[in-house]
Amino acid sequence: MDYVPLPKTGRLWKGKVDFLRPFKGGTAAAADSGDHVTPLYDPYLHRQQDEEPDLKNLNVALAALIDIFPDIEPEVFREMLLSVSEESRVEIVTEQLLKRDAKWIRGRYRAPDATRQDKPAVATPTTLPSLAVEEAFRSESYKRAVKQVCYQEFRSLSHSSIKAVLAEHNHSYTLSRPVLLQLTTKSWRYTLANLLTRRSTSGQQASEHPQTSAVRRTGNADLDHEIWMSLVQPESHRQQQAQLEADRSLANQLAESEAEEIGALFDCECCYSSVNFEQMAFCDVDLHQLCHDCVRRTTSEALYGQGWARAADLDKNALRCFAMEDCQGCIPRTSTHLALSRKEDGGTAWEEFQARLTNDALVKSGIRLQRCPFCTYAEADEIPTLKLRDWRDFWAQVARNSAPMVQFTFVLLLVCMTLFTVPLLVLAITTWILVHFYPPAGAILNESWTRVYKQRQGSKFKCGNPQCLRTSCVRCNALWRDPHTCFESEKTSLRTAIESSATAAVKRTCPRCMLSFVKSSGCNKLVCNCGYTMCYICRQEVTSREGYAHFCQHFRPNGGRCSECERCDLYGDEDEEAAIREAVGVAERAWRDKEHGNVDAQATELMVEALIGRSRYTKWWQQYLDGIVDALAR
């Protein structure tokens, strides 16, 4: 055995200076031999933890049930899995929940922000990557180890209180520790112990305190890893960042003092302050000198103010030189990154700057995009070129997955090939000519292939942003939770339709960057962040040559509409309440018609498909053509 249990009088936290120090209860001979030396936990050394025979199977079943019923607390599944036999666990629990859910659930539903999709799961050597550590079944060795650790760390609490808290939180040390800390502050034993054992800490003792924290092994690899990840690693990272910041500040001070002594300071051409070479950035055309403070201020104004249009160069994907107005140069990306990274929030500013540049470049490219509704992540939503299947795959697709009408069509063609070869060849050549040289026929085929490809692709969209990683629905933009239904109820769909129509009645959308906004006050000449200028009343572009001449220039002593021209008012507002009431009424009537099957061709296609189904919305010949294309295309 390569570990020993924690001693009753020992501490959970040890410094690395104690790595070779024996326990207090060990003898001198044992200390010399090293038999009773407690090694510290090494997070970079993989240790195989012995698993209980049934633990892995239980966690596999638990992960499957959480995927099937994401809105139910995992505690319900743990209780049910332990009460059924080993055979067909998932099937039995699923059947019981579908038939008698109230008996087992008893109101234990997850909060919307507590589902596993909102936060990534963390895997340990004995858990699954798709199952959160706090939700998994715990081994008996883990339970014993976490119990002993809590007994030693919270001596002022009774063992019964610690056991109760651990039982409430699935014996998770990470979840139980904050509750135990809160209980400790309310305990009279804790107050009395502080009064009796309060000591003054000398400067010599503080200087001897270990600089790096570590974890003494508890007897369970999972618990060691959990304590390290939740307590030691954040503190170590904070200390490293603080040390790096202190070193950087000291290096900058030394560099500035040395540069000032030898006269090697440079003048910024924006703020005219004198800084050393390490604090300067240069444009790539005329080598204008700009300090890092000005680069940070310009980037901040571009991101959070109105300076994006003049500060960002989308062609070079970089920050424009702002030393002179007519300079066509840009600040290199490496210099911008260096300037932003020298502040605490510089990493976030650089990521936002990169995301904004990428988003504007995608909008400028004009390609079709599929966006994540929860962040700025976007993917190209391009339909691939239609390619025919291999003849073996073609007949397998027709026999297994095609509709009966499509199967009958191809069987009939196969029979007719022996009798009417020439007419069939003429029909095939005619179809090819129509598709390639007659635009309406090609458009119909492309629309059919688009529907088939979208149906194959499905409605689930996985965000690729490492900080998001959420799964959403491409039709309703809702967070995906299996089993997912777009517009879960008619009430939800009606509310969504009304809210969307009311918002669309008052909002304006920039046609250049597709940014939507609502005017709260001010004049009706609006300037978007991208530089596009438009009229809030008529939504027409206001060019720099036209300016305020787009609006009425006549004096009206009594207000009201101008009787001399039909131009828009500079400060007049349209009746937004009337527009909202009209839009809500139209949306509600359209929803009522769609609910009864009277589908309006101009209504929202996605909501129609969600409420009445795609088969009732698509015409019969489109369904037939989609079946043919699905059988032929790969």
- CA nearest 20: which of 211, 216, 212, 205? 216
- CA angle, residues 538, 541, 544, in degrees to nearest 5: 135
pLDDT score, position 127: 42
CB 628 within 8 A of CB 406: yes
* Confidence class for position 18, pLDDT limits 50, 70, 90: very low
* Confidence class for position 291, pLDDT limits 50, 70, 90: very high
Q: Which residue has the higher pLDDT, 387 or 321?
A: 321
Region 520-533 average pLDDT: 84
Condensed to tens digits (0 to 9), the pLDDT of residues 545-591 reads: 888 888 888 887 776 678 788 788 887 766 666 777 777 777 767 76
- Rounded distance, CA 255 to CA 253, Å? 5
Q: What is the 3-state secondary structure (H, E, C) of 91-131?
A: HHHHHHHHHCHHHHHCCCECCHHHCHHHCCCCCCCCCCCCC
List the structure tokens of 375: 């962040």
* Confidence class for position 203, pLDDT limits 50, 70, 90: very low
- Rounded distance, CA 626 to CA 622, Å? 6
- Rounded distance, CA 321 to CA 343, Å? 21
- Rounded distance, CA 517 to CA 499, Å? 15
State phi, psi for 310 to the nearest 5 degrees.
-95, -10
Residue 513 identity: C
pLDDT score, position 2: 43
| Alpha-carbon distance values, 241 to 51, 210, 234, 343 (Å) | 37, 18, 11, 12
- Rounded distance, CA 527 to CA 276, Å? 39
- CA nearest 155: which of 269, 296, 8? 8
- Rounded distance, CA 524 to CA 414, Å? 67
pLDDT score, position 27: 41
Residue 516 identity: S
CB 538 within 8 A of CB 526: no
Region 121-143 average pLDDT: 67
Condensed to tens digits (0 to 9), the pLDDT of residues 144-199 reads: 999 999 998 888 888 888 888 888 888 899 888 888 888 887 765 655 555 555 54
* Confidence class for position 487, pLDDT limits 50, 70, 90: low
Query: What global pTM score does this model have?
Result: 0.55
Answer yes or no: is pLDDT of 48 > 70. no
Helix (H, G, I), strand (E, B) or coil at 289: strand
Q: How many CB atoms lie within 10 A of CB 292?
A: 22
| 310 CB-contact burial (10 Å; exposed 0-12 / middle 13-18 / buried 19+) | middle
- Rounded distance, CA 249 to CA 244, Å? 9
End-to-end CA distance of the chain: 58
Q: Please report which helix (H) or strand (E) contains residue 275, including its range.
A: strand 274-275
CB 175 within 8 A of CB 134: yes
Region 511-518 average pLDDT: 79
Q: Please report which helix (H) or strand (E) contains residue 63, including its range.
A: helix 55-68
pLDDT score, position 346: 57
What residues have CB less than 8 Å from 133, skipping those under 6 apart?
A: 121, 122, 123, 124, 127, 172, 174, 222, 226
State phi, psi for 52 to the nearest 5 degrees.
-75, 150
Which residue ranges make up each domain of the chain?
A: 55-135, 274-366
| 497 CB-contact burial (10 Å; exposed 0-12 / middle 13-18 / buried 19+) | buried
- Rounded distance, CA 81 to CA 90, Å? 8
List the structure tokens of 466: 């490492």
The number of residues making up the chain comes to: 634
List the structure tokens of 468: 């998001």
- Rounded distance, CA 297 to CA 189, Å? 54
Condensed to tens digits (0 to 9), the pLDDT of residues 437-474 reads: 788 887 888 888 888 888 788 888 888 888 888 888 88
Region 82-87 average pLDDT: 84
Helices (H), 471-604: 490-506, 576-595
Helices (H), 291-438: 292-304, 308-311, 333-340, 346-365, 391-400, 404-417, 421-437
- Rounded distance, CA 133 to CA 393, Å? 43
Q: Is the peptide bond before 483 cis (omega within 30 degrees of 0)?
A: yes
- Rounded distance, CA 581 to CA 392, Å? 58
- CA nearest 483: which of 3, 153, 72? 72
How does DSSP classify residue 214? Answer: E
- Rounded distance, CA 470 to CA 116, Å? 10
pLDDT score, position 110: 73
Task: Report how far Cα 186 is from the mean position of its chain's Cα atoms.
Answer: 39
Q: How many CB atoms lie within 10 A of CB 624?
A: 16
Q: Which residue has the tokens 């009277």?
A: 598
- CA nearest 59: which of 125, 135, 116? 135
Helix (H, G, I), strand (E, B) or coil at 90: helix
Residue 502 identity: A
- Rounded distance, CA 532 to CA 513, Å? 9
CB 75 within 8 A of CB 169: no
Helix (H, G, I), strand (E, B) or coil at 558: coil
Four-CA torsion 452, 456, 460, 462, nearest 10 degrees? -110
CB 269 within 8 A of CB 291: no
pLDDT score, position 537: 79
Lowest mean pLDDT among 104-118, 366-380, 606-620: 606-620
CB 537 within 8 A of CB 574: yes
Condensed to tens digits (0 to 9), the pLDDT of residues 402-435 reads: 777 777 777 777 777 766 676 767 777 777 787 7
CB 347 within 8 A of CB 296: no
What residues have CB less than 8 Å from 542, skipping those under 6 apart?
A: 525, 533, 534, 535, 550
